Structure 1
């Protein structure tokens, strides 16, 4: 019987194949008490299992093939740091000492404590790192079971025979498993959990493999060896399709493969509209190594370097100025003279940088983390840390074009404090004999107040970057993590479009640079709309650049702009956009 499962589309395209179900490897956890004489040996058993997993992951990382997505190495590093974090095994050992729990029980008890803390986090990326924590614990539990002789043998791709293409179906997929399931084995991924920033989504996009996550029930509804279609564009999974549906999707798959090949040829083609408007397509990156992927995708710069990834999972220690400088310098040099926009650390709520261990990510006393001490508010509250980061960024400017981006600005007083801190930092660098060049200053427009008062902000900064994800959330008072209201998160809402359009127009009128770095920038469905608003700089995940570039090459910016007033006045902007922008769209064929 044919049926459909719905989830979140995180990597576009169509994949067709037989389902390979990989059940969670979590073993049944035994619950028993150990005697006082057994406490130290039980702790030793826990640490042996932890060390065995550390060795396994370190070996996997060292043996990564040259063509493996660099995101895999970064995610393995996250798992290794979690394993070394005292908040996990150290606190689990304390359960053994205090409560006399056996190792498995103690580890599971500590997982529950930490999982609740992750659930309360406001930031999407941080909240979804709960899955990494669960997978680390799962592997340690597996090592404990293996020592006891109770663990099943691990599943490997070679266990699956036949010539049919294979699709992986699982509750979730750990980065280490991604390596075991070589790139050539599986044509697509389906998981029960996860979101757009989950590691499965990140790796699927980097590998350009269709994926649907957050299906909730897929691993329970789909049977081993079922024929399955992954529609990565719609976020739909079709199980045991009829011959007619199967043939239709096979045709779409062939068209998609041809389209990808065409898009790949656009890599070195300048992004210029039919009426001659130059458009910058920049990349969002998290780590210095990501800059290589940006260049390979044809990016003309880095529009957002999320520096907070340098601060995470460090057992409570801040990265030194020198360590930050080396990371920023590496990214700048990799871009070969193209601009790199570095955002100052953007971590939220009550997480001071000296409390970034898993053990300290607490929210008990914060009523609304999204509106608490986060981003620039936090940096200004930690002036020594802020100056250290600014010094590292300015030092990197001696090696290429660097721009400085400040998140979550809402007050002119914040801008004045930032400017004063920059002056102090420049003087410190001059006194120390460090070279640096002029660094353009920009602020993120992600709070409605900043959008409304933008003309005042523009007097003090060189450029602005619109963070559409948070701007939508704050404008509509919608917590994207709350499933009860997540359906109200709507980038097509008239108020959202008005704020974005006004911000772009005001920045252009003031002669200041303006870009969009949120999800809307990388979604081809919004490319023409943003061009119509006057946007000329987009920043997105490197894998999204080709599809957006194609839309730019086929667009007529002037004709699109003429349709904008009717769209902004509409009660149903999405429907009006489809009608008006389609009418304004040029039908001229592009040959590359």
Structure 2
């Protein structure tokens, strides 16, 4: 029987393939009280699991391929920051030492507390940051249970040597696991949870993967090997489509590919409305090398060079004046005389700096992390660095 499910469209395109259903991201954990004399050992077990996850994410970040989107490294840094945040680690330790919860129970209890705080936020973008908390907690719980992460199990779920295209169905997918989509057999994905501004959605768009998130019961209703259509433009998932619907979407796929090719040929044509009003297409870039892609895409200037990406993923060292000069010079030269607007370093919140302490990244008296020591406030607190950049 063919059914339709509706979610939020977050990355354009149509994906057609057989469903690869992964286990729910919710880890079943035991809940029991420990003897107080064993509290130190339980805390040590939790710390070891946390350190294991830190090593795993650090290794993922270090092994990022050159073609990986720049946003992915920043998101991995966010997860590392959370793993070292006292609001997660020290508070979880409190549940063990005071309430005498076992490590798994303590982690889920503190995660629920933090998730409720994010649920109470008015801002949609900040509210969806709770997904990062849940994904980090899930990795720690799996480390405690010595389980593998979700996506490596996909290869065991069904033989990947089949000629059929595949799409992934899951409760949620962490940005770190999205690395496996680059050049993989998966043509798209659908998740039960998530929103337009979730980090999973951001990475999906940067990697141009058709995706629908927030489809609620997708992982429960879809069965292994069902044929799926993921309409990333409309936010629709069709399960076991009829031959007519399947052929219609295959036609849409071909039409979309032709349209992209047609638009690609027009990228250097002047952008003018029907009534003769010129429209400028500006590009946002993170690194000097992005300027080449911006120019190839037809941008007439760089509207925003996010200079903070030069400061991130450097193991605590900051770029000196010469390095920054060469980076800005490379971007200007790559744009071949077209204007380049450079923003001063915007560090903080979801873009942490390796050498910053956790308390520097969070406003201690508000739930909104954007109110902390970040952006121009951080620059003014570091006058030597700020003068050097200017």
Please say whether Structure 1 and Structure 2 have the same fold, judged by a TM-score greater than 0.5.
yes
**RCO comparison, higher one (Cα < 8 Å, 6+):** 2
Deviation of 1:183 after TM superposition, in Å, equals 3.2
Distance 1:361 1:325 in 2: 38
Aligned Cα root-mean-square deviation (Å): 4.0
CA offsets 1:58-101 (integer angstroms, 9 cap, x no match): 22222223333333222222212211222212221122122221
Residues 1:23 and 2:23 are matched in the alignment: yes
Distance 1:270 1:113 in 2: 53
Query: Structure 1: which 5+ residue stretches go unaligned?
Result: 313-318, 364-368, 397-435, 437-592
Deviation of 1:190 after TM superposition, in Å, equals 0.9
Distance 1:385 1:42 in 2: 38
CA offsets 1:222-270 (integer angstroms, 9 cap, x no match): 1111111111111111111111111111001011112222333344444
Structure 2 matches for 1:336-485, cutoff 5 A? 336=333, 338-340=339-341, 342=343, 355=359, 360=364, 362-363=366-367, 385=378, 387-388=380-381, 396=389
Q: Secondary structure at the match of 1:26?
A: coil
Tell me: CA distance 1:220–1:111, structure 2 relative to 1, closer, same or farther (3 Å): same
| TM-score between the two structures when normalised by the length of structure 1 | 0.55
Q: What is residue 85 of structure 1 aligned with on the other side? A: 85
Distance 2:322 2:132 in 1: 28
CA offsets 1:308-333 (integer angstroms, 9 cap, x no match): 99999xxxxxx999799978984675
Distance 2:289 2:202 in 1: 12
Distance 1:153 1:389 in 2: 42
Q: Secondary structure at the match of 2:87?
A: helix
CA contact (8 A) 2:287 2:309 kept: no
If each structure's helix is expressed as a fraction of its own residues, which one has the higher value?
Answer: 1
Q: What is residue 57 of structure 1 aligned with on the other side? A: 57
Deviation of 1:200 after TM superposition, in Å, equals 1.9
| TM-score between the two structures when normalised by the length of structure 2 | 0.80
Tell me: CA distance 1:326–1:45, structure 2 relative to 1, closer, same or farther (3 Å): farther
Distance 1:245 1:384 in 2: 54
Q: What is residue 155 of structure 1 aligned with on the other side? A: 153
Structure 2 matches for 1:40-439, cutoff 5 A? 40-146=40-146, 154-157=152-155, 159-160=157-158, 161=160, 162-273=162-273, 277-284=277-284, 287-288=286-287, 291-292=290-291, 294=294, 297-304=297-304, 330=327, 333-334=330-331, 336=333, 338-340=339-341, 342=343, 355=359, 360=364, 362-363=366-367, 385=378, 387-388=380-381, 396=389
Largest Rg, 1 or 2:
1
Q: Give the length in aligned residue pairs.
A: 374
CA contact (8 A) 1:321 1:391 kept: no
Deviation of 1:39 after TM superposition, in Å, equals 1.6
Q: Secondary structure at the match of 1:86?
A: coil
Tell me: CA distance 1:306–1:334, structure 2 relative to 1, closer, same or farther (3 Å): closer
Deviation of 1:334 after TM superposition, in Å, equals 3.0
Tell me: CA distance 1:202–1:384, structure 2 relative to 1, closer, same or farther (3 Å): closer
Distance 1:290 1:24 in 2: 39
Tell me: CA distance 1:211–1:87, structure 2 relative to 1, closer, same or farther (3 Å): same
Deviation of 1:383 after TM superposition, in Å, equals 9.1
